[in-house]
Amino acid sequence: MLKSTLPVLVDFTAVWCGPCKMLEPVVKQLSQDWDGKVKFVILDVDDNSSLAVKYGVMGVPTLILFVNGNPVQRLSGYQPKDRIISKFGAYI
């Protein structure tokens, strides 16, 4: 995932998380809007706790954008589509 030539947007989520469920359709829409420009990965923190710890994920949902394998931007909590675009768009 982190060796991708495209930017990688990782959505750290959990099945029990209400705001994560609210963010799900936003991420789905962005994956369609940015098709071919960004790779999207959804990681459940309960199943991937070591990655959550490695990248300092303290709460869910957390979106982290990786470019060339390095985290370059992050957003935590539910975010509207416009906010995600304004935060990550410069890297796309």
Secondary structure tally for the chain: helices H, strands E: 3, 4
Annotated catalytic residue, options 8, 14, 20, 26: 20
Annotated catalytic residue, options 10, 14, 17, 64: 17
20 has catalytic annotation: yes
17 has catalytic annotation: yes
List the structure tokens of 21: 């469920």
Outline where DSSP puts E strands in 6-48: 8-13, 39-44
Where in the sequence numbering do the catalytic residues fall?
17, 20
